Amino acid sequence: MSNPLYLVNLTRVNQPGKVCLELKGSILVIHKESWVSKYSLYVPVEVVDIEKEKYRNYRKLWEGILGLMLAFLLCLPLSLWFIYKPLFYLYDLLWILPLVGLFLFTLIIGFLGFARFSKLNPAISLIFHHRSRLMKMSFWIKPEIQTTLEKLLVKITELKKLLETEGYIPLKICPMWFHSKPYRKSLLMGTAVSFVLFCIITVFLVLQVAGEYEEKIWWTYLILPLPPLVSVIREYIRRKLLWGIPKRLKKARNAFEKENYSSAITELQQLLKEQPDLGVARFLLVQLLAEKGEYDRALKHCEEFYFQEPSLATELKTTIWWLRCVQERMEYVPRESSDITSSIKE
């Protein structure tokens, strides 16, 4: 595989995760990774359109909202201290002073978030057709990567013109398979539930104290660690302890998630010798072989998979053939730009 002509790391506009753009031959490779998933997209340069735009940063808006909301929640117990100050003891300062510090910190974060949201920031948009729909990816233009990004965009425009003059047949966009991080996703969902419970409990607790009820619900804060814990345990049970799933398939899936493709392929091959009609194992094996670039072996397994899932096998074969064409384009640089050999990296 050829080295990238250009490589630049970017941040998507108003979406989580980071993106790496690589220009290999006449293919733009887009690697997207977030905390819970990642995938790659192989885009022929002839289908790419470029636009320069300006956007507001909605992530800063959410920072402002969350900052002010947390400041309001922290203000509730502090207000009780000001109202019933004679009833408090000196050692209560041990929790009051940290609360005051947190309140001021979240208040500043909230106002800064709204101030930064009001500003328009420069961005670049890549527009292309994917699966009969218009796909648009926008990225922030940061000063430290602006020069490299401009060179990348100029080179894409140059390659598009060269491909037009050479009469290349346009390729379709080829996405690689989606890689999920299930335990992180479960932890994130459980943490979101805990945050909602924290807000509800805090409001009810302040109302109880203000109403001078004898029974308090301080103990309910102890349930906050439970949603993330239950969510992760549930995912573990679903993936590890269910009956009926072959052990080799579990090992192959674990190796695949750790990107240990060789070990996963070995496990799946052994499993298919024992159970040749296991469609899930053959599908995963085709995916792994395609990701490693072993297209002939992947197509061979597609032929065997055809007797179990004809429509899915046909779709896999089509995808693999397109990936093979993309691979050839990644290894070939049009004649007028073949003198570019150095990689520019940010």
Tell me how far apart the alpha carbons of residues 50 and 149 are, in angstroms, rounded to a whole number: 12
Six-digit token pair at 92? 């209560």
Are the CB atoms for 99 and 202 separated by under 8 Å?
no
pLDDT (0 to 100) of residue 250: 84
Same structural domain, 319 and 301: yes
Same structural domain, 220 and 189: yes
pLDDT (0 to 100) of residue 194: 93
Tell me how far apart the alpha carbons of residues 185 and 315 are, in angstroms, rounded to a whole number: 29
* CB atoms closer than 10 angstroms to residue 161: 12
Same structural domain, 191 and 84: no
Are the CB atoms for 54 and 125 separated by under 8 Å?
no
Same structural domain, 39 and 126: yes
pLDDT (0 to 100) of residue 232: 92
User: Residue ranges of the chain with pLDDT lower than 70?
Assistant: 1-5, 80-93, 95, 130-132, 167, 209-216, 242-244, 333-346
Reduced to 3 DSSP states, what percent helix, strand and coil does the chain have, rounded to the nearest 5?
60, 20, 20
Number of domains in the chain: 4
Please report the sign of the dihedral spanned by the C-alpha atoms of residue 279, residue 284, residue 289, residue 295: positive
pLDDT (0 to 100) of residue 252: 87
Are the CB atoms for 126 and 49 separated by under 8 Å?
yes
Domain that residue 256 falls in: 246-332
Six-digit token pair at 125? 């948009």
pLDDT (0 to 100) of residue 248: 87
Tell me how far apart the alpha carbons of residues 101 and 91 are, in angstroms, rounded to a whole number: 17
Same structural domain, 14 and 31: yes
The CATH number of residue 290's host domain is 1.25.40.10
Same structural domain, 154 and 259: no
pLDDT (0 to 100) of residue 275: 87
Identify the helix (H) or strand (E) that includes residue 262: helix 261-274
Question: In 3-state terms, what secondary structure has residue 177?
Answer: coil
The CATH number of residue 148's host domain is 2.30.29
Same structural domain, 23 and 152: yes
Same structural domain, 275 and 300: yes
Residue 313, amino acid: A
Domain end position, chosen among 102, 117, 132: 117
Same structural domain, 235 and 265: no
Give DSSP secondary structure letters for 251-314.
HHHHHHHTT-HHHHHHHHHHHHHH-TT-HHHHHHHHHHHHHTT-HHHHHHHHHHHTTT-HHHHH
Same structural domain, 320 and 258: yes
Same structural domain, 16 and 147: yes
Tell me how far apart the alpha carbons of residues 20 and 149 are, in angstroms, rounded to a whole number: 11
The model's pTM is: 0.75
pLDDT (0 to 100) of residue 161: 86
Same structural domain, 220 and 288: no
205 torsion bin: left (phi>0), alpha (psi -120 to 50), beta (else): alpha
Domain end position, chosen among 129, 155, 179: 179
